[in-house]
Amino acid sequence: MKLVWSPDTATKAYIDTIKSCELFQHSSVAELISAMAAGWNVKLIVETWSQGGVTTTSIGLDIASRHTCGRHVCIVPDEESKLEYIEAMEKAGMSPEVKVGEPEEVVGGLIGIDFLVVDCRHSDYARILRVAKLGHRGAVLVCKNASSRSGSDFGWPSVIDGGSRLMRSVFLPVGKGLDIAHVATGGGSSGSGEGQGRWIKHIDQQSGEEYVIRRTFHTASAN
């Protein structure tokens, strides 16, 4: 099985997020992320948040979870952050599930994540991506505030474990930058006669999208 795109659900979540975030500035990120989460019909949405952060993305994700009948979990580092977050979300008429703890540890305890949003302003964002246990249908991974991340050595292959495959990734100049990857899980070998191969990365110069293609070659069998 794999994630299947539903444009109708994506549109509904997008419009609902616009309505809910109309009093907030710079909500374009929330609208886009909400549409993606709903459009892929994800069932376990996980995000990280810390004190002083905006909640528009959380509002969009909560709206998406309602459209997909899914679960929205927000991870905060301490009780003070939890209280601030819950108060802000209640003002928006929402009450997502909140877990307190080190994001890396909490994410590692959640199984079947199919939509994960991390903040690149925090130094542990790459480690959070590495420990995530993704759903069997695959997952969408989102790095927000990607333009502000320190260093240039980040690469999606470096944070995806051996049981997953990077299908495509794209950097969008929305808000302070969104770096998004679509990951497939499972698959494995196809039995006897399977060819060997290698992964080839291609970046579309016009759209900025990154495609990862597997080129397979077969070895001749001995007679």
- For residue 191, the model assigns a pLDDT of 37
Q: Give the strand pairing for 196-203 and 209-217.
A: antiparallel
166 forms beta bridges with 183
- With a CB cutoff of 8 Å and minimum separation 6, the contacts of 65 are 37, 45, 71, 72, 96
For a pLDDT cut of 90, what percent of the chain falls above it? 58
Q: Is 162 exposed, middle or buried (0-12, 13-18, 19+ CB in 10 A)?
A: exposed
Residue spans per domain, the chain: 7-188
Does the pTM surpass 0.85? The reply is: no
- For residue 161, the model assigns a pLDDT of 72
DSSP single-letter state for residue 176 = T
Residue 107: pLDDT band with limits 50, 70, 90? very high
Residue 25: pLDDT band with limits 50, 70, 90? low
* Fold adopted by 7-188: Rossmann fold (3.40.50)
Q: Nearest 5°: phi and psi at 81?
A: -65, -40
Query: Of 189, 174, 141, 157, which is closest to residue 3 (Cα–Cα)?
Result: 141
pLDDT above 90 for 21: no
- For residue 223, the model assigns a pLDDT of 43
List, for residues 65-83, the tens digit of each pLDDT value.
999 999 999 999 999 999 9
List, for residues 139-183, the tens digit of each pLDDT value.
999 999 998 776 557 888 888 876 788 999 999 998 889 999 999
List, for residues 187-198, the tens digit of each pLDDT value.
543 333 344 444
